[in-house]
C-alpha cells in the first residue's frame, strides 16, 4: 500500500487512499461518504507532502515529498495492518527492505536479526566475517523508535552493511588482515563508515581480507585466515576484498564496502556476481582506510544490484578535508547518481572493445565466450559497438616511475592516527615479532628499504603523487585522446580473463587480472557488472571504463546492461533460513 523511499507519487496515493481500496464502477452512498471523509482528513497531509488536491495536476518534485515519509506513516498509524514479521532477505534490495519496514510488514530489528542469523548459520562455510557488531540490534531498536516518533529516515535507513576489515570503526577492531592489529580499535570511524551510519545504515559485521591488502589473488589474513568463494567453496573469491564479496553474495548483508588499490573492489565483485565501482581518484575519500598505496587506493560499495551500489555511492562520494586528493573532486560530484539509472541507457551509446585486454595468451576460452556474448547483448540493448578499440596498454604501463613504493610511509601516517593506542609504530616491526603470513614476507621486506617518515615526493629521486606523476598523467591523456578520436563513450573488457583459482593454489593459478591494467594508473573510474557464468558455476564480470568524473555514465550503462540481461543469481548452499 505504501511507497518506497523516493516514490512521491505513491505516497500521495497513500494519503488519498490509505486503505488501498480499489475504486468501484458504481460507488455506494456509504463509500462516497467515506471517500469524502478521507479526502477531508488528508488535507493536512497533502500540504505536508505538497500533494495536489484531487483533480489538480502535481507540480512538486517527488523527492521533496519522499523525505517526509515518516510523518505520513505516523499520521496513518491508526490504519489496520498486521503485526510486523520477518521477511525473506535472500537477494533483498535496499528499496525492498525499506518498503517492508515503512509499510509495517516488518521492522528494523527483524531485518538485522535475519542477517545476523544468516551469518551465524552459514559463515563457517566461507569465513567471510571477522567480527559481528554487538550493538547492531540496539541500533536497530533506535531506528525503529525514531521512525515511530515520526523522524524522517535517512537514505540508508536500516541498511545492514558489511565493511571490510581495513575501514576504521570506533566500536570494532580493525586489523587490516594482520594479527599485529588484532586488538586495535581506532578512535573514530573512517569517513565512509561515518557517512553510512549518519545516513541510517547499520554495520552488522566486518569482513576478512588479504593481509595488508597485499594480494589480488586471494583473501587470506593472519588475523582471520582464509575466505572462500560462495559460488564454489574450493575456489578463491580473489582479493583483497574477498570477505565483503563472498559475504554480500551469500546475503550476509544488504551491501558492503571494499577498497581497491589495483583490483580489490572490481576483482572480487566479478568473482561473486556483484556490481562494484572504483571511482575517479579524488571523488571519494580514503580517510580512515588502512592504506596500501595512498596514491592509488580507492574505497567504495560492492552490491548485488547496480541501484543499491548507486544509492550507497550517493552517500559516500564527495569532498573530505581529511583526504587531500578529494580537493580535485570538489564540484565534480553529481547530486544524485540514481538519477542516471535508465533501463534504456545503452540506446545510442558508443562502446569501444579494448581488445588488448581480451585477446591475450592467457585468456580462458570460456571467459572470452561469455564476453563475446555480452557484446551481442550490449548491441541488442541499443549500443553501437566499436570493435576493436585499438590502444597499446602495455606500452603505457612500461613508462618509467609508474608505481611508487610507499607502503611503509603510508602505514606510518595511519598508525600515527591511532595515537598512543597504536599496537605498532612501524609496519615492518612485524618482521621482528613474526606476526605475518608467509606469503606477505617478501612485500614486507621490500618495504624495509623505504624511508619511514619521508613523503615519497621528497625522496631522491622523488616519487610524485598522482597528479604530479608524469607517466600516469601521460597514460590518462593518451587514453582519453584515443577515446575522443574514436568517439566512444566508454570501454569494455572482462574483469578477469580466467576462472577463479583453486583455494589451495591461489598464487600459482593467478592470471588474467584486467582490473590492474588501466583504472589504477590512470585514475579513471570503472565498474564491473555480472555478464554470466562459466561452466554454469563461476561468475564472470563485464568491466566498463569511462573518462574521469563520469561515474553517472557508468551507472547508466551498467544499470541498463544489468536490467536487460539479469545475469546474477544467488550462490547455491545459502538458502533462506526456515522459521
3 pLDDT exceeds 80?
A: no
pLDDT band at 23 (very low <50, low <70, confident <90, very high): very low
Provide the sign of the torsion angle of the four alpha carbons 265, 267, 272, 275, taken in this order.
positive
Quote the CA–CA distance of 426 and 414 in Å, as a whole number: 10
Which pLDDT tens digit goes with each residue over 541-578? 999 999 999 999 999 999 999 999 999 999 999 999 99
Quote the CA–CA distance of 28 and 442 in Å, as a whole number: 82
Quote the CA–CA distance of 345 and 216 in Å, as a whole number: 32
Active-site hit among 178, 215, 223, 240: 240
Query: What is the pLDDT averaged over residues 532-546?
Result: 98
Q: What DSSP state is assigned to residue 281? A: T
- Measured N-to-C along each axis, helices 551-565 and 365-380 cross at an angle, to the nearest 10 degrees, of 100
170 HSE (CA, 13 A, CB side): 9
Is 240 catalytic? The answer is yes
Quote the CA–CA distance of 205 and 183 in Å, as a whole number: 16
pTM of the shown model: 0.88
pLDDT of residue 82: 84
pLDDT of residue 72: 55
182: number of Cβ within 10 Å: 13
Is 264 catalytic? The answer is yes
Active-site hit among 219, 264, 285, 437: 264
The cell numbers describing 110, all together, are 527483524
Every domain of the chain with CATH number 3.90.1300.10 lies at 108-400+467-565
Residue that the C-alpha cell 547492531 belongs to: 136
Which pLDDT tens digit goes with each residue over 514-526? 999 999 999 999 9
Which pLDDT tens digit goes with each residue over 127-162? 999 999 999 999 999 999 999 999 999 999 999 999
Partners of 202 in the β-ladder: 160
Quote the CA–CA distance of 170 and 187 in Å, as a whole number: 5
pLDDT band at 68 (very low <50, low <70, confident <90, very high): low
Q: Which CATH number fits domain 108-400+467-565: 2.60.120.10, 3.40.50.300, 3.90.1300.10, 3.30.565.60?
A: 3.90.1300.10
Let me know: does 200 contact 155? Beta carbons within 8 Å: yes
Residue that the C-alpha cell 540493448 belongs to: 381
Active-site hit among 164, 219, 222, 285: 164
Q: What is the CA radius of gyration of the chain?
A: 25
Is 35 catalytic? The answer is no
48 pLDDT exceeds 50?
A: no
Backbone angles phi, psi at 459, to 5 degrees: -75, 170
Provide the sign of the torsion angle of the four alpha carbons 409, 444, 257, 510, taken in this order.
positive
Quote the CA–CA distance of 70 and 90 in Å, as a whole number: 26
Amino acid at each position: 500500500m505504501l511507497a518506497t523511499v523516493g516514490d512521491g507519487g505513491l505516497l500521495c496515493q497513500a494519503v488519498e487512499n490509505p486503505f488501498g481500496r480499489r475504486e468501484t464502477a458504481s460507488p455506494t452512498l456509504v463509500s462516497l461518504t467515506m471517500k469524502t471523509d478521507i479526502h477531508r482528513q488528508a488535507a493536512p497531509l497533502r500540504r505536508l507532502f505538497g500533494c495536489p488536491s484531487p483533480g489538480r495536476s502535481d507540480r512538486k518534485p517527488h523527492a521533496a515529498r519522499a523525505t517526509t515519509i515518516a510523518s505520513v506513516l505516523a499520521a496513518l498509524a491508526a490504519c489496520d495492518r498486521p503485526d510486523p514479521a520477518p521477511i525473506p532477505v535472500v537477494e533483498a534490495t535496499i528499496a525492498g527492505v525499506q518498503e517492508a519496514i515503512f509499510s509495517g510488514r516488518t521492522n528494523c530489528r527483524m531485518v538485522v536479526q535475519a542477517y545476523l542469523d544468516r551469518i551465524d548459520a552459514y559463515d563457517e562455510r566461507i569465513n567471510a566475517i571477522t567480527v559481528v557488531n554487538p550493538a547492531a540490534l540496539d541500533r536497530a531498536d533506535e531506528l525503529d523508535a525514531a521512525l515511530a516518533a515520526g523522524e524522517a529516515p535517512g537514505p540508508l535507513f536500516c541498511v545492514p552493511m558489511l565493511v571490510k576489515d581495513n575501514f576504521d570503526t570506533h566500536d570494532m577492531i580493525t586489523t587490516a588482515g594482520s594479527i599485529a592489529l588484532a586488538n586495535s580499535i581506532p578512535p573514530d570511524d573512517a569517513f565512509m563508515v561515518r557517512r553510512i551510519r549518519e545516513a541510517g545504515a547499520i554495520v552488522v559485521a566486518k569482513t576478512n581480507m588479504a593481509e595488508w591488502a597485499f594480494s589480488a589473488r586471494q583473501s587470506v589474513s593472519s588475523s582471520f585466515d582464509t575466505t572462500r568463494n560462495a559460488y564454489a567453496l574450493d575456489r578463491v573469491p580473489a582479493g583483497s576484498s574477498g570477505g565483503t564479496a563472498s559475504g554480500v553474495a551469500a546475503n550476509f548483508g544488504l551491501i558492503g564496502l571494499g577498497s581497491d588499490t589495483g583490483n580489490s573492489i572490481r576483482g572480487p565483485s566479478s568473482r561473486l556476481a556483484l556490481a562494484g565501482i572504483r571511482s575517479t581518484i579524488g571523488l571519494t575519500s580514503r580517510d580512515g582506510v588502512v592504506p596500501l598505496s595512498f596514491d592509488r587506493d580507492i574505497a567504495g560499495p560492492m552490491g548485488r544490484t547496480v541501484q543499491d551500489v548507486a544509492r550507497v555511492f550517493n552517500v559516500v562520494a564527495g569532498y573530505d578535508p581529511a583526504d587531500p586528493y578529494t580537493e580535485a573532486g570538489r564540484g565534480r560530484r553529481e547530486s544524485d547518481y540514481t538519477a542516471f539509472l535508465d533501463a534504456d541507457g545503452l540506446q545510442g551509446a558508443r562502446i569501444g572493445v579494448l581488445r588488448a585486454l581480451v585477446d591475450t595468451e592467457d585468456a580462458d576460452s570460456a571467459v572470452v565466450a561469455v564476453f563475446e556474448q555480452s557484446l551481442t547483448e550490449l548491441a541488442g540493448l541499443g549500443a553501437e559497438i566499436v570493435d576493436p578499440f585499438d590502444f597499446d596498454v602495455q606500452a603505457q604501463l612500461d613508462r618509467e616511475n609508474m608505481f611508487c613504493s610507499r607502503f611503509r610511509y603510508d602505514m606510518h601516517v595511519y598508525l600515527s592516527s591511532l595515537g598512543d593506542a597504536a599496537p605498532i609504530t612501524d609496519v615492518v616491526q612485524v618482521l621482528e615479532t613474526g606476526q605475518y603470513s608467509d606469503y606477505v614476507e617478501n612485500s614486507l621486506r621490500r618495504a624495509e628499504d623505504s624511508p619511514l617518515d619521508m613523503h615519497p615526493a621528497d625522496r631522491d629521486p622523488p616519487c610524485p603523487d598522482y597528479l604530479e606523476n608524469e607517466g600516469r598523467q601521460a597514460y590518462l591523456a593518451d587514453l582519453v585522446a584515443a577515446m575522443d578520436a574514436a568517439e566512444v563513450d566508454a570501454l569494455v573488457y572482462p574483469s578477469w580473463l580466467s576462472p577463479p583459482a583453486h583455494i589451495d593454489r591461489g598464487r600459482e593459478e593467478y592470471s588474467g587480472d584486467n582490473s590492474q591494467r588501466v583504472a589504477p594508473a590512470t585514475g579513471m573510474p570503472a565498474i564491473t557488472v555480472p555478464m554470466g557464468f562459466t561452466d554454469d558455476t563461476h561468475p564472470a564480470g563485464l568491466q566498463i571504463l569511462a573518462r574521469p568524473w563520469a561515474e553517472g555514465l557508468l551507472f547508466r550503462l551498467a544499470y541498463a546492461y544489468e536490467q536487460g540481461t539479469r545475469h546474477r543469481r544467488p550462490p547455491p548452499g545459502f538458502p533462506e533460513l526456515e522459521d
